Amino acid sequence: MSTHANTKMLSEADGYDLLRKFNVPAPVFEIVTSPEAAAKAAGKIGYPVVMKIVSPQIIHKSDAGGVIVNIKTDEEAKAAYNKIVTSVKAYNSAAEIKGIIVEEMAKPGLELIIGGKIDPAFGRVITFGLGGTLVEFFKDVGIRILPCSDDELRSLIKQIKGYTLIAGYRGEAPKDEEFLFQTLKNACAFFEKNDNVVEFDINPLRLYEKGGCAVDARVIIQ
């Protein structure tokens, strides 16, 4: 959570739209407000899809039962809509439910985090590390003060312990380090060029042997 006064969390959809402008790839999505519309959107996007809650009060969507992955049919999409709404209401009865985001399901990959925040001493900083559920567990995250050079960003990637997972662990094919570097650089540009953004994280960014994709975005503006 942000510690700044008068801040607002953008929706995941608005986060994706902003990041895409800086060439950070994000899933195709549609926001819906009924089970029928969810099935229709899912059909258009193409199964399987992921459905998630859209609510300004729900910061950690999974904790609230607000994320369902691998939805494969219209029936499952309709059921997922109702299930997410029920779970989120039970989790926080005061949460304002703006709808459900239906997203293209990204293939599995290495889950990383790219984040940005304003440090009281150093100003804007970028953070990078292992993401997904591993992030809290391993705390394998590095940090650089912005603006930073390409060399600093490349060393940030290589600095984390999880770098072996990027470089190719035990004969596994290496992940796309060049794409990761570019995406980190793009995320830095996004943070530096949007003065109103005080904090953000892409958690996770899925990294593949070729390319990658953000599958969550939390952007806090002031």
Measured between alpha carbons, how far is residue 41 from residues 36, 55, 207 in Å? 9, 19, 26
Nearer of residues 39 and 183 to Mg ion, judged by Cβ:
183
The piece of 36-44, 78-86, 98-106, 187-195 that touches ligand ADP (CB under 6 A) is 98-106
Q: How far is the CB of 21 from ligand ADP (least distance, A)?
A: 19
Please tell me whether residue 204 binds ligand ADP under the rule CB under 6 A. yes
Least gap, CB of 165 to ligand ADP (angstroms) = 15
> Which of the listed partners (Mg ion, ligand ADP, none) does 127 bind, with a CB threshold of 5 to 8 Å by partner kind?
none
Query: Looking up tokens 């969507």, which residue turns up?
Result: 61
Tokens of 103: 């997203």
Q: Does 11 bind Mg ion (CB under 5 A)?
A: no
**Of the two residues 63 and 75, which places its CB atom closer to Mg ion in the complex?**
63
Hey, how many other C-beta atoms are within 10 angstroms of the C-beta on 92? 15
Burial of 83 (0-12, 13-18, 19+ CB in 10 A): middle
Shortest Å distance, C-beta 57 to ligand ADP: 12
CB of 120 to ligand ADP, least distance (A): 26
Considering the complex, what minimum distance in angstroms separates the CB of residue 105 from ligand ADP? 4
Chosen residue from 9, 77, 102, 106 binding ligand ADP by CB under 6 A: 106
Looking at the DSSP bridge assignments, the partners of residue 115 are 127, 201
When the beta carbons of 54 and 148 are compared against ligand ADP, the nearer one is 54
Say if CB 32 and CB 102 are below 8 A apart. Answer: yes
62 binds ligand ADP (CB under 6 A): yes
Nearer to ligand ADP, 135 or 157 (CB): 135
Residue 27 within binding range of ligand ADP, rule CB under 6 A: yes
Neighbours of 32 (CB within 10 A): 21
Binding-site member from 203, 205, 217, 219 for Mg ion (CB under 5 A): 203
The one-letter amino acid code at 24 reads V
Measured on CA atoms in the order 190, 185, 130, 208, is the torsion positive or negative? Answer: positive
Say which residues have a Cβ less than 8 Å from residue 126's Cβ, sequence separation at least 6: 114, 115, 116, 143, 144, 146, 148, 156, 184, 187, 188, 191
Q: Which residue is nearest to Mg ion (CB)?
A: 216
Which structure tokens are listed for 60?
């950690």
* Contact positions vs ligand ADP (CB under 6 A): 27, 50, 52, 60-62, 67, 69, 103, 105-106, 132, 204, 215-216
* Contact positions vs Mg ion (CB under 5 A): 203, 216
